[in-house]
Structure 1
Amino acid sequence: MTHQEIRTLVEKFVRAWAAEDLDALLACYDENAELVSPLLHTQRGIEAIERSHQDLFLAFSDVVADVHDIVIDVEHQKAVLVFTINATQKADFHGVAATGRRVETPSAFVFHFKNGRIVSDRRLYDYGGFLMQLGILKTRGV
């Protein structure tokens, strides 16, 4: 993929995520893609990625994705999406009762591409901070 093709795919991913458009999001992934995330754990294959995002989109709404940077490595067919996700928890998620709280999660997603699709999606963010915003974990002591 060219630099512009990678950028276009990452931007499509962000738009789909913010719109909670599962079909558009899944179109970014290869059939055998792997997703690794503190929140979604390891998901292998498009069906597993679909189920994990269905649950995520049911639990969180009013998504805003504020992109800070997209770092692209054409030679290795990789990109890092640096952005902040804002969303409101509206339903239970992974055993956590709905809180109605808004969370702000600075994130970095590392994508690897093959044949015009994402084959690897590694998500990095402060999971503890995310849980604190939901009121599940108490503030860390000093």
Structure 2
Amino acid sequence: MPRSMDDRREKREWLLRRNCSLSPRQTLVAYLALCALSLTVALAFLLQGVWQVLIFTMVELAAVTTAFILYARHAADYEHIVLTAGSLLVERVSAGRTSQTVLEPYFTRVAKPDSPRSLVQLEAKGTTLQVGSFAPAAQRRRLADELQQALRDQKR
């Protein structure tokens, strides 16, 4: 069925998020359980007069705290791509920092990933962006195909 002019100009969106196995609440519960267990063991040894275990427990908890903080900072990272009649907006959020790049759809070229580890490349008027860092290889190829088709539809 042929598309009308309005159908081709509708907004298209793609949202690529990290695949996080734990929610923020689950992460906090796991962290607190690990801290409680480690401190319980360290205190048991401290009561037996082996104070050195407490030092190693503090080093361990410092490392675990650092890891959990890094995990939490990047758990909400995403890439949001929005194609409208007049622009292709790529919004990236990483560790709470947002960056936005606007490309002109008519001049945008999509380069498909050429290997399982490479990303989708968008090029327009001297600006080059790579997207798809949160998607597996098959999803990146599908994203490139969908973007190419949507951009072609816009040019008709």
Using structure 1 for the length normalisation, give the TM-score.
Answer: 0.24
Structure label with greater radius of gyration:
2
Report the structure, 1 or 2, having the larger strand content. 1
TM-score by length of 2: 0.23
Higher helix share: 2
